[in-house]
Structure 1
Amino acid sequence: MSSAATELGELLVAAHRAFAQQGRARFGEHGLWPAQVRLLTTLHHRPGSRMRDLADMLGVSGRAITPLVDALESDGLITRRPDPGDRRAFRLTLTDAGLSAIDQIADLQQQISEDIFSGMSAEDQRDLARLLRAFLDTTHGSGCTPA
């Protein structure tokens, strides 16, 4: 790998860390944590998912997702219903409070992104988006997918 390619990799990692750090801090101010945000937004896009399927989508074990689901259910953000096709499984859905949390998450994501990219011109932002899409297009063949 050339030094330019190595630098690009390092820059991508550093950018990801900076973005994630900003997100953790801002979501934390509102009592939201990354694992909650990921589970709620995934469930929003895939309502009625089984816990096992959510764990697979999030890349975590069933043991790791159970306490998170329990906590979100206890907070009234999700409901757990028996899966009619499998007596051992449950289907998860967002409650009205969960849908409100999704709205809050979307607003925070918008604010965080605007703050992070405010130092870049609109043209630079478009160029970065184009380059990142091109990068992601090249990585799809290697098993990488955008989050």
Structure 2
Amino acid sequence: MSDAPWMRGLHADTGYLLYRLGLRSGSLFNARLGQYGLRLRHYAVLRYLSIVEGARQRELSDQLGYDPSAIVSLVDDLQRLGLAERRPDPADRRNRIVVLTAAGQQLLPQSEQDGARVTDDLLAPLDAEERRTLHTLLLRIAEPAEPAAAGD
């Protein structure tokens, strides 16, 4: 870390450090996933689709926290790459669901390994216990508790 006074001030700000870590993490993930024509946001969609039996685009938006218009573009990209496709929803044929293709299912393990390598590189300064603690703390703040109802 720099010893410049302004940098020490920024590094005292946890929010700024989280922002910088997010930028660094995203950049490393994007560089690693670029070999597949993917970015971190595509990877998140693929990972989500790997654990569900298809999802409406609105569900992807809600679950991943992405703007609905971004989801349309991400799914278009994945479809163009042959990794996902839109199919009629068996529960309501007026709707479409997004599912992984065989190519998407085949790519997922390799992209997960690449993601794990990026995470290992980012967390190299931490020992195993510190990594578990960091993960636990990030889980706690990533999904804040529901706000208390009025009057509680």
- The TM-score, its normalising length taken from structure 2, stands at 0.72
Report SS of the residue matched to 1:49.
coil
- Structure-to-structure mapping, 1:1-147, within 5 angstroms: 7-136=13-142, 139-141=144-146
Q: Which runs of 5+ in 2 are unaligned?
A: 1-8, 148-152
Return closer, same or farther for 1:64/1:10 CA change in 2, 3 Å cut-off: closer
Distance 1:100 1:130, change over 3 A: same
Any gaps of 5 or more consecutive residues in structure 1?
143-147
Aligned AA for 1:14?
Answer: R
Deviation at 1:97, TM superposition (A): 0.7
Q: What secondary structure is seen at the aligned counterpart in 1 of 2:13? A: helix
Deviation at 1:61, TM superposition (A): 4.2
> Relative to structure 2, which stretch is displaced further, 89-98 or 48-57?
48-57
**1:90, distance to aligned residue in structure 2 (A):** 1.0
Per the alignment, residue 145 of structure 1 pairs with: none
Query: Shift of residue 127 of structure 1?
Result: 3.9
- Cα distance in 2 for partners of 1:52, 1:15 equals 28
Q: Distance in 1 between matches of 2:96 and 2:139?
A: 36
Identify if the C-alpha distance between structure 1 residues 39 and 131 changes in structure 2 by more than 3 Å, giving closer, same or farther: closer
Q: Which runs of 4+ in 1 moved over 4 A?
A: 133-137
The residue identity in structure 1 corresponding to 2:120 is: E
- Computed over aligned residues only, the root mean square deviation of the Cα atoms, in angstroms, reads 2.6
**Higher share of residues assigned helix:** 1
Could you tell me the TM-score, scaled by structure 1's length? 0.74
* Structure 1 equivalent of residue 5 of structure 2: none
Q: Secondary structure at the match of 1:48?
A: coil
Equivalent position SS for 1:140: coil
Deviation (angstroms), 1:136 = 4.8
Identical counterparts, % of pairs:
33
In the TM superposition, what whole-angstrom CA distance separates every residue of 1:67-108 from its partner, at most 9, and x where no partner exists?
332332232212322113323211222111101121122101
CA separation of 1:140 and 1:121: change in aligned 2, threshold 3 A: same
Q: Is the 8 A contact 2:84 2:98 kept in 1?
A: yes
